[in-house]
Structure 1
Amino acid sequence: MKTGNIRYITLIALLSISILSAQEGKVKKADEQFDSYAYIDARKIYLNVVEDGYESAQVFKKLGDTYYFNSEYTEAAKWYKKLVQNYPDEVEPEYYYRTAQSLKTIGEYSESEKMMEKYTALSGNSKVAANLQNTMVSLEDLTDIKAGKYRAINITEGLSSSDFGPTFHGNKIVFASSSKNTEGGKTHDWNGLPYLDLFEAEIGENGTLENPVALHGDINSPYHESSATFTKDGKTMYFTRNNYIDGKKKRDKKRLVSLKIYKAVKKDDNTWGDVEELPFNSNSYSVAHPALNNDETRLYFSSDMEGSLGRSDLWYVDIMANGQYGQPVNLGPKINTEERESFPFVSGNDNLYFSSDGHMGLGGLDVFVVSLNGNGQFKTVTNLKAPINSSQDDFGFIIDESSKTGYFSSNREGIEGSISDDIYAFNENCGVIIKGIVTDEKTGRPLEGSLVTLLDENNEVVSQKTVQSNGAYSFEGIADCGTQYAVRASNNEMDYQPKEKTLTTPVGMMATQVDLALTPPDCPVNDLGCRLDLQPIYFDFDKHNIRPDAEVELAKILQAMKEYPQLVIHIESHTDSRGDDSYNMQLSDRRAKSTLEWLVKKGVDRNRLTAKGYGESQLMNKCSNGVNCSEQDHQLNRRSMFLIKN
């Protein structure tokens, strides 16, 4: 039972009967080789560089990537953690994301959340990050979701202390909320929370409720409103309210404020007015949670009126052609029990959905369905099971059976004794499609033969597709709705860099476009520096000594020479344009030789090395003699390069 018995209709003091509670690196070893120089394995080089005591942000990124893109997340996490700990100022957003994913995969959820928060702050994809956090803190719910017929996501978490009772209103959703931005404005003495009002929201991506605003007009009072239903033309609504009208609140003999169903019409200015209570209401019992059938000739509701079999039953009244109402009819023992039945909803296929804690369920209120056959006889009442139902209260279920999507309310993530209802969006038999085009980033041409991999939120491979001649790929009937995935494309035959994008799939029968443009290889076949992704080996002005930052890069060359005894390289060194041409030629020659000698002192056979200076004859930019350039521009020309000799 929740605080103050607020889920019991006979002791109601709030509005609800049953509510208000919750790549670079190694993609594959065989593919991670370089054209005719297939013996050069970058991962081995980087590992040996680190073992020799040399490190940089770039080394840790590349090492992490070689494991991450090969799904070796334990090792990936090791190097990414070193990256973010030692070089926090050089970490791009995508590396926080990869770190978070790797940590999550190995069970380090707390640290993963921290990384995702940094990713969110830097990328603005609070969104991609919030998403990842929910699945980490609700693992049991996630397991239930995957085991059941449906897929469901919380869409009002954090909106207010209580959000529930959704209903369709055209292409929008109307729901009850205790948000402080209400027209009533008062707070309830019982719990200090704002009274409930009815809000209307647009349906956003993944079924989210966007831009909620309180209904305009005479609907929201200083007390509670909830549980509405609308005619198809959108001009008439029935809704639940505390026993309050014309500025007065009425109590029953026990001094409790009961619930009543009211009717309102939409005026020419699109506000709601002409509020009147229905004739079968009473000050002695509660009537709540109206629901219309498909031809709008019958109004279903919940009540504890005389004749009820339990604490609250489902009833209906016929709506006459003249606008009058028939006598209330109890749906009988097939539906009603000695406990609570509430929140009826009639679908387009004439299925009656309702909540009950009297039928066999998982705990608290569960959602059930039964077919209406028109003759007063009901077929089997069926429990919708997890993840619609949980060990807590689940209620307010609505569904559009044509799109197989809908909403329900639950307090499953709340704390016992608290008020924490939320609205969940769900889909049945998710029909989401993930598709896209894989192209060359520079030319835009389709990349036939590329491999596209779909990975789940745990970085496990879900499916793989090989791109056809038009560059297109498609994953159909594989992905779950409202779930985070990553789509990764690679083309190892042509040595393209892998590309990965994350997404959260929509809810329903929808397609999501994820195009991937791969960066083409730009390394000359004999450029060892490019193949090992060396940072430039720069020299200070008029100097030929090896700088500390250059030693990190030379360590990579050293490891390559050790790993592959047949490797012979030629060192080319250059100067900027300042100074005499002849002097610059001599200076570049000294730079080439100092580079060679560094490697020789580390144990490389001199016969495997040649070196030559080229002065200022091969400038990288426009900074030739007489051109005014910055020191940074001149620095680009003071460099050494490494070429593989045949």
Structure 2
Amino acid sequence: MKTSILSTLLVVALACVEVKAQTTLSHANRQYEMMAYSKAIELYEQSLKDNLKDSTKVNTLVKLGHSYHQIRDTQNAERVYRLLFGETKSIPKSQASSYLYYAQALASNGKYDEAKDMYERYSQAQQDDNRGKEFTKLYGDVNKLKKNKTSYKIEALDNINTNRAEFSPTYYKKGLVFVSSRNEGVNIKRTYGWNQTAFLDLYEIPDLSVVNSAKTSRVGGSETTARAAKGKGVYLLGADEYTERTANDSNTPGNFKVTSNGKPDPLQNAKIESQNMGKAINSKYHEGPVAFFKDGSKMLFTRNNYLDGKYKTSKDGVNKLKLYIADKTGSDWGKIKELPFNSDEYSVGHPALSKDDKLLYFVSDMPGGFGGTDIYVSKYENNNWSVPVNLGPAVNTKGNEMFPFADEQGNLYFSSDGHAGLGGLDMFYAKLIEGVMAKKPKNLGEPINSTKDDFGLITDGERKSGFFSSNRRNGGADDDLYRFERSGPLDPCQDIIVNVFDAETKNALANVDVEVISKDESAPESKTMTTDSEGNLRLCLDSDIDFVFKASSEGYLNNTRNFTTKDLDISELVKLEIPLDKAKPKNTGPKTFTLRGLVTTQKERKPIPGVKVLLHNECDGSTQESVTDENGSYKFEVPIGCDYSIEAMKDNLGTMGSKVKGGETTEANITMFEKGDVIKIDNIYYDLNKWDIRSDATVELNKLVDLMKKYPKMKIEFGSHTDSRASAKYNKTLSTQRAKSAVAYIVKQGVNSKRIIAAGYGESKLVNKCKDGIGCTEEEHQQNRRTEIKILSL
């Protein structure tokens, strides 16, 4: 009987333990769904001490790892994910983001080899996400981002920093405005549920000279500096207890956090006093980041959906972030209004203005983007804001892009965890075309970037000095303000291999003298180097500069190649090939060179035999004639030192012709078009949302005018095409107007209007996959934004 009673009591006790464990786990899941990650972590850790079923334990570790990821505790995130992948070798595709978060934690902890392996696993699980491939490639040699480390001096502004969050600095008049969670009682503040820290306010230091003259702390690029631990957090777009996932998000919204366990330490006041910007701007919820019009009359700032005492939520009861504009009224701010593209259903924030205040860059997780948070631009005209335009896949990724800043030259700076970087948020810059189209962004590298979160950079047009924010100290638990000064080159150099070889045999040529001429306007220079036994030169060239390479070797004709480091990816090794033709025996006549080429069809690039090729010497006016052989080839032996023009003639075929620099060019290929062919015309650009002919477009249009006069019977269709972004109706209208403007210009130059038809195709004839809803790179969209002429008769 006693045995039976004891057994019964044991079963009841075990049942109670199981019920308690399930109750704790259920409570943890509720906190997780509410995005109260700090509370969820405590409960999940407690649940794991119980004897959970294998499947339940795996799911618990997945959610616990994600919770640590969300609050930016990378050490614990690594620990939990290591446990997770010790429990199971593979996870369901629905939980594939765990590979990504584990890889991000490893990278942020400086473990690039392990991170590379985990990114490879993520790439296999999510083949449509390029992040896995890009990060895997970078982590094969992460030192590429450390080449320019000695160019910058970094200092922490410990005369401003406290043991609370300070981040996202902004220039204002002669001072600095920044965001902080130092709660000084201006308004009653609630605790921020995400990681149990205070909400954010805006603070101002009116005189920047005080900051620059006061003592600061020198720190290294990615080194950890000893300092008392601080309980702090960086609160970015979407990172609040009210913001939940949207239809545009991946498995997690774009949030970046650091946290402390328990209550924060008492506030340690900064050495330099800063002013809270007051109740008119700072509410009991989040404020910041911020941007100011250049005359200081208006302010754009981020705040939770709270205005005039009214607190609003989305249909799901979620309080989002919005952008507001305020006017300076005397010594205070007033007339606060929402921007028109705000919504109760998604977040908008992180404002940045162009130099002329006409373009507003901001961040949003609105539907239709590429990832968690994207960067958009809106034009300000006549006190109205245009419909925002997504900056596209050149800038935005499936990750999170945020904290934009536009310098005085129109360069865009921003932070991202989607572009390959050193870990956490890295800072990038991209050159913009007309303020909208961006070229491929470049990672700023060490020491501006570190393994942790680096963001909120502001600087001048030459990036000589500036400020930014980072949580690189204390293992990611400390968001502080930093300043930097540049004493070396703006960007790291570009690795290049120059290979010189015999043009006929293809054999490498050793001991060839190669003169490298820099066309840098500020410091032009020239130096001569010699190829090694394999015909190679290994160089590292300054970025964003044009170069000329002149190769010379006894017994060979000199050859020249132009090269530019503009818009190159420093992570790529570039190869430049220079073939040399053997010199012919000397004679008493003038020095000559062999000019050869291939004549092919426009459409299929097939060789055309029997084409009469005319070479006109622009020095003496003489003309040589050659006929292409069965392979479509021709060649001339012509004097060095003159410029030449080339024409090709054959019935029912036409050509744009070509120009040759005598002695500098040894090959000139020619394409010929026929009825039905389509010819792409490059470099015809228009201002945003306009169709007026710009002065730079007239150069290309004049070439088309010359072509029409050269072939007086030719009739063409002038077609204008757009990419798929914006509505189909809008793109059709815009392209039609642009085509009509171009045709009107051509007719004005003396071409009969009956010979040319204007056609606007909008996005109806895309040349690739980039239709609505398909994520594409900026280069792929650029292929669709084109001007073409179709030959109707010849």
TM-score by length of 2: 0.35
Normalized against structure 1, the TM-score is what?
A: 0.43
Compare CA radii of gyration and give the structure with the larger one.
Answer: 1
With a CA cutoff of 8 Å and minimum separation of 6, indicate the structure with the bigger relative contact order: 1
